[in-house]
Structure 1
Amino acid sequence: MSETGAGLVVTVRRPGHGGLVLLAALTAVAYANVLGAGFQFDDFNVIADNPDIHSRAALLAYLPHGIRPLLKLRDALLWSLGGGQPLAFHACSVVVHLLNTGLVWHLGRRMFERCATPAPHAQSAAVFGAALFAVLPVNTEAVTYVSGSSVAFSAMFMLASLAMYDAFLERGGGWRWLACFGFFLGGLAARETAATLPVLLLLWDALAPSRRGRLVRHAPFWLVLIAGLALAVLRTRYDEFFAVSLSTRAPWDNALAQIRGLCWLLAQALLLRPLDIDPDLHVPDGVDATLVAQAALLALLLLAGLVSGRRWPWAPFCAAWGVLHFLPTNSLLPRLDLANDRQWYLPGIAACWTLGYAIAAATAHAPRSAGIAAIALLSALAWRTHERNLDYADEPSLWRQTLSQSPDKPRVLNNYGVALRLEGRELQARAAFLRALAVDPTFEAARKNLDATTDHLIEDEPRTDGARARFETAAPLAEKP
């Protein structure tokens, strides 16, 4: 075997050092330019203009009745450490993504090993799977967009909890179970979608079935979920959220919409569509040939994962992982936005493991050619992620790129108008607001912004850095609460 081929095999088969260095290097290359990005979109409502995280007294007043307390604690700490600048938030997001990449590698290796995959192949598959996760461009929204980083932040606790649960099953020790439970609570306190973890633990048990002590070690997790559900019902903000969500569309219409949303996310992940922070997706008017084909594709992918279990015992687990983690964001509960890239972050891990296994098999069969192809693929994905992060450099860049993908969406036109106004381009901003109203005459944010722009042109007042306060960006319901 050539030196190049042998070097590649050594790198992927000994991930304790070489593999982890590779993962860290890929993440650094892909996300190095994030540190200079600014706040975007919901970041102003959630962070920059949110007094709840700007002082200790305000934070303490918020926590007893607010939602996602750990996330708010994180935001308050980063706001204080960074002096209100976005650098601290972006640095934290990159570190969290790096930690998640390491956890994806560790859990992937353990999953393959628990399914009796030969150790060298399990290690290689885990490294390649984690490398794909590290540089997949669709994950940028959960890393680079500060308001979207709650997904990655909560995922960190969930993955850490599962890792500790696996260690508990493997080596015992009450402290490992307590750590698992503690990470679970942390995930829930960061984002309520972590409620899927107890089911995930059951799926992990199924990889190496053992009923011994299962009820005792699982019961506290389910009790916390029941208590959390009761608490959510009693909280006014959750009542409002559920009321708005359930009134958004009927169950059948929502089911059709979710088919379209899931296929959109799949296309985004495979780079079949350009990335778009605010895609112009509409609820289908009814069942047509395209929707039937999309539903058939999703069903076929799920069926392929389930029936592949005879040859690859880990495949049904990956299929169940994807379905489980799409449920909180793409299920019976309607969302205003049919799809956002950050929804792929946690479910997509299973796809990365699957593709990682395929790459590992190819490199084992043809180390030189497959190894070069794998390196080229990872390099190309890292560069595409690096390029996507440039869109988040400032508001005009982000909304200019988004408008190129969603040119007729009122919210995009409105937010592009706000970005133009921040650049001092008043007439172009006015044109954007008029276009938004031409598409949707009832769009109140664009109407208010148009009126404010008109007043500004009449008064000929100078633009100031505080001009944003007079304008309204139309934020998505996806992040509320």
Structure 2
Amino acid sequence: MHSLARTEQRIWRASSLATLAPALPTLAIVSLWWPSLTASFQFDDWNVIVNELRVHSLAAWWQSMPGIRPLLKLSYALNMSFDASPAGFRVVNILIHMVSATLVCSLVRTRGLRAGLTEADASCAALLAALFFALHPAQTEAVTYISGRSSSLAGCFCLLSLYCWVRSEQSEARAWARAWLAACSVCFCLAAATKETALILPLALLLYSADRPLSTTLKRMAPLLILVALMSCIALSLPTYRRLLAVSLDTRTIGENLLTQAQAVLYLAGQLIRITNSNADPRLPVVTTLDGLSAMLCLAWLAILAGALWNVRRAPVSALAVLWFLLWLAPTNSLLPRLDVANDRQLYLALTGPAWWLATRLILWRRQRPAMLFATVGTLLAALSWATFERNQVYQTEITFWQDASVRNPDNSRAANNLGMAYAMACRFDEAATQFQRAIALSPEDYVARINLILLRKGQLPGVDAQRCAGGASR
């Protein structure tokens, strides 16, 4: 009797832990990101939200349609309607991140079971992967940085679409399978309406279902492929998208971009490990000629890609982790050039693959060294939490934001110019002039910093209330 009671008690504790475990990433997100609610608007936030009249009300948003990223702009308009403060926007961003972490936990657990892990190993690895995903400091650029919502919201809808895809696969009743597949298609449309890079999602579904017969997967994917074609035609019919495509192709050639991105992807991969290296404006170099390093990196990435494809069924966890990472970087870090070579927010979904791989390695490693598991996991989570907390402090003011970027990259003239603007808006004119002069010295052809310096000296710098500053000085 006593043995039976102890067994039932252990089962109850295990089931309770299994029920509470998925809530751990969301609780961790709340505790780490709550202090960031007092942070100010930053950089692009002013252009795409604060000074963008088309997102200041639902009526203004509706009148601006059709336009690019309609769902993203609708989310801004809704925020403006209910709470236009930076805190109101960040609360939504945090909620989005919480939903994404929960979906990551569910999806990698299912994929772990399909990869041959035991139920206990798959569940523990999923929880750890979700925690790594949730707490990594690179995610602050998609969560704390309000304009980063384009990456986090689109990523959340992509994960939700994938969740519906999995439920469709698992449904035995044909009606339910079709309903879940329809929901998958709807979420795909919502993701693409948030950020066009979500059009890569069908390839992610194909990768996730690599253990299924290819013909069956392609048949089920037909509606999504039709949607890709339809949404691509709609996008190309809009003048704004055509103009953006033209600007992209004029930025640099596709060949130059491939050489540049070979180094950029290495930088982003390094960001997974260098947890104290987050940089809002890294300003990576553009490679215009084929050199030894670029050629070696291109060959290395091709070899890694080929090796992962070859091992999709032989080593599913490792192969899927690599392919998932490269796949979600492909829209922004492959063929089409961007003005900014790389940013941390591009890692939002890409990070899931490496997080799952590391979590699985740790869980399987416990069989050899069980005593070391808790110490290792605890150290990793503590380090990520500390780095994320510290990174969130950078967003408190525009001055701290651009001071950090300037310190991390002293040769960045744009960071110096933006720090000068932040000082000017805080009525610290001498320091603003110093930063504008530094920006000019770093980039003599930078006419923006020159104009800002001239306007500062005339008391006509846009965004600076000279009377308020004079009043503050007199008091």
State the TM-score, normalized to the length of structure 1.
0.88
- CA 1:95 to 1:461, structure 2 compared with 1: closer, same or farther past 3 Å? closer
Corresponding residue number in structure 1 for 2:120: 120
Give the Cα separation in 2 of the matches to 1:19 and 1:190. 30
SS at 1:96 equivalent: helix
Candidates 363, 366, 375, aligned match of 2:366: 363
Give the Cα separation in 2 of the matches to 1:175 and 1:246. 40
- CA 1:453 to 1:304, structure 2 compared with 1: closer, same or farther past 3 Å? same
Q: With CA pairs under 8 Å and 6+ residues apart, which has the higher RCO, 1 or 2?
A: 1
SS at 1:206 equivalent: coil
Corresponding residue number in structure 2 for 1:167: 167
The answer to which of 295-304 and 422-431 deviates more is 295-304
- CA 1:427 to 1:286, structure 2 compared with 1: closer, same or farther past 3 Å? same
Mapped contact 1:207–1:314 kept (Cα < 8 A): no
1:193 partnered with 2:197: yes
Corresponding residue number in structure 1 for 2:36: 34
Candidates 410, 417, 423, aligned match of 2:426: 423
Candidates 379, 382, 389, aligned match of 1:386: 389
The answer to which of 283-292 and 94-103 deviates more is 283-292
Corresponding residue number in structure 2 for 1:434: 437
Name the amino acid aligned to 2:22: L
> Deviation of residue 235 (structure 1)?
1.0
Mapped contact 2:23–2:102 kept (Cα < 8 A): no
Give the Cα separation in 2 of the matches to 1:133 and 1:421. 37
Corresponding residue number in structure 1 for 2:453: 450
User: How big is each residue's C-alpha offset from its partner over 1:29-87, in whole Å with a ceiling of 9 and x where there is no partner?
Assistant: 32121211111000001001111011232111112x211111111111111111x2111
Name the amino acid aligned to 2:73: K
Candidates 267, 273, 298, aligned match of 2:270: 267
User: How big is each residue's C-alpha offset from its partner over 1:303-328, in whole Å with a ceiling of 9 and x where there is no partner?
Assistant: 55445546532333332222221111
Mapped contact 1:13–1:121 kept (Cα < 8 A): no
SS at 2:407 equivalent: helix
User: How big is each residue's C-alpha offset from its partner over 1:397-425, in whole Å with a ceiling of 9 and x where there is no partner?
Assistant: 00001100121222111101001112211
- CA 1:461 to 1:284, structure 2 compared with 1: closer, same or farther past 3 Å? closer
Q: Which residues in structure 2 correspond to 1:183-262 (within 5 Å)?
A: 183-209=187-213, 211-212=215-216, 214-215=218-219, 217-262=220-265
- CA 1:267 to 1:190, structure 2 compared with 1: closer, same or farther past 3 Å? same
SS at 1:323 equivalent: helix
> Deviation of residue 461 (structure 1)?
8.2
> Deviation of residue 292 (structure 1)?
4.6
Q: What's the C-alpha RMSD, in Å, of the aligned pairs? A: 2.6
Name the amino acid aligned to 2:450: R
Candidates 45, 54, 57, aligned match of 1:43: 45
Name the amino acid aligned to 2:402: W
> Deviation of residue 440 (structure 1)?
2.4
User: How big is each residue's C-alpha offset from its partner over 1:440-459, in whole Å with a ceiling of 9 and x where there is no partner?
Assistant: 2332321221121010299x
Mapped contact 2:211–2:313 kept (Cα < 8 A): no
Give the Cα separation in 1 of the matches to 2:15 and 2:258. 43
Mapped contact 2:39–2:87 kept (Cα < 8 A): yes
Name the amino acid aligned to 1:444: Y
- CA 1:364 to 1:97, structure 2 compared with 1: closer, same or farther past 3 Å? farther
- CA 1:293 to 1:31, structure 2 compared with 1: closer, same or farther past 3 Å? farther
> Deviation of residue 213 (structure 1)?
7.6
The answer to which of 54-63 and 271-280 deviates more is 271-280
Give the Cα separation in 2 of the matches to 1:14 and 1:379. 24
The answer to which of 434-443 and 152-161 deviates more is 434-443
Name the amino acid aligned to 2:444: P
Mapped contact 2:210–2:312 kept (Cα < 8 A): no
Q: Which residues in structure 2 correspond to 1:333-348 (within 5 Å)?
A: 333-348=336-351
- CA 1:355 to 1:419, structure 2 compared with 1: closer, same or farther past 3 Å? same
Give the Cα separation in 2 of the matches to 1:466 and 1:155. 46
1:176 partnered with 2:180: yes
1:76 partnered with 2:77: yes
Mapped contact 2:425–2:465 kept (Cα < 8 A): no
- CA 1:12 to 1:413, structure 2 compared with 1: closer, same or farther past 3 Å? farther
Question: Which segments of 5 or more consecutive residues in structure 1 lack a partner in the other structure?
Answer: 1-9, 468-481
> Deviation of residue 264 (structure 1)?
1.1
- CA 1:164 to 1:455, structure 2 compared with 1: closer, same or farther past 3 Å? same
Give the Cα separation in 2 of the matches to 1:56 and 1:156. 23
User: How big is each residue's C-alpha offset from its partner over 1:240-264, in whole Å with a ceiling of 9 and x where there is no partner?
Assistant: 1111110111222111110111111
The answer to which of 313-322 and 102-111 deviates more is 313-322
The answer to which of 10-19 and 146-155 deviates more is 10-19
> Deviation of residue 25 (structure 1)?
2.7
Corresponding residue number in structure 2 for 1:282: 285
Give the Cα separation in 2 of the matches to 1:153 and 1:204. 20
- CA 1:29 to 1:366, structure 2 compared with 1: closer, same or farther past 3 Å? farther
Mapped contact 1:161–1:183 kept (Cα < 8 A): yes
Mapped contact 1:11–1:18 kept (Cα < 8 A): no
- Number of aligned pairs? 455
Corresponding residue number in structure 1 for 2:149: 149
Candidates 23, 26, 48, aligned match of 1:24: 26
> Deviation of residue 287 (structure 1)?
3.8
The answer to which of 428-437 and 410-419 deviates more is 428-437
The answer to which of 281-290 and 120-129 deviates more is 281-290
- CA 1:450 to 1:351, structure 2 compared with 1: closer, same or farther past 3 Å? same
User: How big is each residue's C-alpha offset from its partner over 1:251-304, in whole Å with a ceiling of 9 and x where there is no partner?
Assistant: 221111101111111122211762110013111253444435544554564455
